[in-house]
Structure 1
């Protein structure tokens, strides 16, 4: 069971040409020959009954007021061919016709039963939401209208009501008006009228196309004419092994001849519809084969990219090992700080070089984004063509839709992987050059004044932050570029390190900062020579370190990139502005607010 993906507009459906409209609604069942056609009035609607069973695919069909059997055996015949595991129940107020029961047991014992029951008993035997198709047979519309609320509760999420004698002035017209209010509906005006009303919200596409027509549209008249001609063919041709019940009711041979000519015309129209459907099916098969070839090619590209990424991961691990060795060497040379000023100048030059490189990468990213938008437009055109094919053949449409989604996902993965690969290589090269320069400069360091120790610790933390962001490159490349761009603005970075006493007081009194939790979580804080509160306000918050379990700094910076771009401490921003702007401190709080709303 699927909910319809496309619903035709009233104007669009009604103005479709016949060579397009008929194939879209055409189903094989509408051309069947009935095995039982006793009532000449209801026999005209037999193609509608067959078509509705195939279009709606019900699991349970209920007929209220089963009498002579024309509609009843039409449902049984259709279910036997299309879904023999479905159930067909008929209810009569009085004792059911013995011949009808005998024929039902003989032909459809496994799926159909006729029961005598009052309306209250019938409602009690049916669970709520268990009926997919409810047929109100001739003569029972008035009592059903009084208990419509109870019958409506028995219909499923894709429930449909079929009302006989629903034409103007007929006994079922009042029930039809009551049920159709605010719902999609269609009235076959021939032979006292037969109305279809979609009560459930989930309907298959073929049925939604039919129900999308509005009274008076040319397309609606064409559909009625086609089904009327097919119905007259059922009246004119005796069913297999049984004389036609309505043949004796014809006044003369001329009426029979007219009906046969109309049936022949309907058969020719049906043959044209079948040919058109076959042509559309061939087009769909061709498109599906092209999609399969494209998917195979994309799978090969994906395997190649995965192998390349694995090599890059190994290179990253080597880079981390080099960085650890650098840290160990630098830890033993704190006494060589005489040339710290020269080192800072070199670092600023490296930052300027990195900023220039970032600008180049940003230009490359914009170019890649434009290329992605062009691919997206091409893909959108393919999707539009795919939607046209889906309207024509429902079964093939589902397969093509799944393939289109796979193509879109693979194309997005390919573009994202290519961008990540290029950006990762550039950043690894830049980081390697920076590390080689730092190793050479560290070899020439000597002892300098003790009051420069804090500046060296600050530089160490800046290098650690760069390495951490390189490690996150595979998951968040775009945010990495934004954060690295922010890091490249030295004037703002140095300004963010000067925490005011007001910021320290605000964080301390907020209840979010836990000194013991922070120091245990980040043991390198003790090596910096600062207490946990001062370290968090000056550096830790901007590095994505959380002050305690109640505030997630890294999530806050990623969720609100304007804070990261401004290089602000996330907790200070939240306390001063974010809480008043309904920003959240943790992803759990976002989930709670989402479920609460």
Structure 2
């Protein structure tokens, strides 16, 4: 079934991501959910996962739709020239989330892309997301290295097709590879290229790819997924602002408590000084008052 947007609708596209972290991928979460629900891949592999925004969206849909999909996230979780370096806490956080929500069908593989490729049989991957180092050479290498592993149903996603700075070369490779295959490209959220590699893709996915030759249909589909993506982005921004406000209030209360403690310490110190001074004054006063008596007593001794 198609609608005015020219593609098969699915409730999955209205996903409320359980994992929302700062990422350029947030705006593509609705499309990731729709694609997973419509394509129903048996095996999904992501190259470059970082904090897991995109990966969790795919996995959440697998669980919600009760799909037989096996999911694999491959990353060293050490960063690169484009993602930057990051600490062990990034991996620990995602690993814990993955264990709590996706145990049984999701695997985090902490290794390099080239080292991991031998773990998969040829023709076994139905959905591949390439989001590692974004230079032209790296993206081309990743695609060519993993190409034999793709099935006859395979779809490949390339993120950041719209970024042309800081040495990003995904756009360049996308411009080179996309004319050779049925494809579709989203412009929002740094750009996302959808490439058909297999010959037997799901009908719903094929409808989307056919929109590349229908300017008005493509415009409507892009508007729908961009709008849904914006809603997810706004939700993330709202929740981040709320957390900041709560943290700010807690921080303010903590600062006030610390200031009060310092004031109390200062007051106690001044009180101790005052008591010492009073004792000294009292001793001095007593000494002066009894001085005549001590003098008289000395006359009779």
Scaled by the length of structure 1, the TM-score of the pair is 0.36
Change (3 A) 1:64 1:31: same
Aligned with residue 131 of structure 2, among 134, 137, 141: 137
Question: Is 2:91 the partner of 1:97?
Answer: yes
Question: Is 2:215 the partner of 1:221?
Answer: no
**1:245, distance to aligned residue in structure 2 (A):** 4.4
Kept after mapping to 2: 8 A contact 1:188/1:195: yes
Change (3 A) 1:82 1:175: farther
Kept after mapping to 1: 8 A contact 2:6/2:208: no
Aligned to 2:8: 25
CA distance in 2, matches of 1:198, 1:24: 16
Change (3 A) 1:28 1:199: same
CA distance in 2, matches of 1:129, 1:236: 39
Aligned to 1:237: 235
Kept after mapping to 2: 8 A contact 1:138/1:165: no
**1:247, distance to aligned residue in structure 2 (A):** 7.5
Cα deviation digits, residues 259-292 of structure 1 (max 9, x gap): xxxxxxxxxxxxxxxxxxxxxxxxxxxxxxxxxx
Aligned with residue 65 of structure 1, among 28, 32, 48: 48
Change (3 A) 1:225 1:92: same
Deviates more, 1:94-103 or 1:70-79: 94-103
Change (3 A) 1:178 1:33: same
CA distance in 1, matches of 2:35, 2:124: 18
For residues 39-58 of structure 1, the aligned pairs below 5 Å read 39-58=22-41
Aligned to 1:9: none
Aligned to 1:402: none
**1:94, distance to aligned residue in structure 2 (A):** 4.0
CA distance in 1, matches of 2:241, 2:91: 19
Cα deviation digits, residues 42-97 of structure 1 (max 9, x gap): 11111110011011110111000110111010011011112343210011134571
Aligned with residue 79 of structure 1, among 50, 62, 67: 62
CA distance in 2, matches of 1:79, 1:89: 12
CA distance in 1, matches of 2:61, 2:192: 18
Question: Is 2:108 the partner of 1:125?
Answer: no
Kept after mapping to 1: 8 A contact 2:75/2:111: yes
CA distance in 2, matches of 1:90, 1:99: 14
Kept after mapping to 1: 8 A contact 2:40/2:69: no
Kept after mapping to 2: 8 A contact 1:84/1:111: no
Uncovered stretches (5+) of structure 1, i.e. residues with no partner:
1-5, 7-18, 250-597
Aligned to 2:158: 163
Kept after mapping to 2: 8 A contact 1:235/1:246: no
Kept after mapping to 2: 8 A contact 1:135/1:162: yes
Highest Rg: 1 or 2?
1
Cα deviation digits, residues 195-224 of structure 1 (max 9, x gap): 110100011111111101237812111111
Change (3 A) 1:51 1:246: farther
Aligned with residue 107 of structure 1, among 101, 105, 108: 101
Kept after mapping to 2: 8 A contact 1:160/1:200: yes
SS at match of 1:161: strand
CA distance in 2, matches of 1:165, 1:49: 15
For residues 169-568 of structure 1, the aligned pairs below 5 Å read 169=164, 170-214=168-212, 217-238=215-236, 244-245=239-240
Uncovered stretches (5+) of structure 2, i.e. residues with no partner:
79-89, 245-301
CA distance in 2, matches of 1:138, 1:219: 31
SS at match of 1:48: helix
Change (3 A) 1:204 1:234: same
Change (3 A) 1:189 1:215: farther
CA distance in 2, matches of 1:247, 1:213: 39
SS at match of 1:143: helix
Aligned to 1:585: none
**1:150, distance to aligned residue in structure 2 (A):** 2.7
- In the alignment of these two chains, the number of paired residues is 229
Kept after mapping to 1: 8 A contact 2:40/2:67: no
CA distance in 2, matches of 1:205, 1:173: 27
SS at match of 1:160: strand
* Structure 1 runs of 4+ with >4 Å offset: 245-249
Kept after mapping to 2: 8 A contact 1:46/1:231: yes
SS at match of 2:4: helix
Cα deviation digits, residues 560-591 of structure 1 (max 9, x gap): xxxxxxxxxxxxxxxxxxxxxxxxxxxxxxxx
Kept after mapping to 2: 8 A contact 1:64/1:140: no
> Higher relative contact order by CA 8 Å / sep ≥ 6: 1 or 2?
2
- Structure with greater strand percent: 2
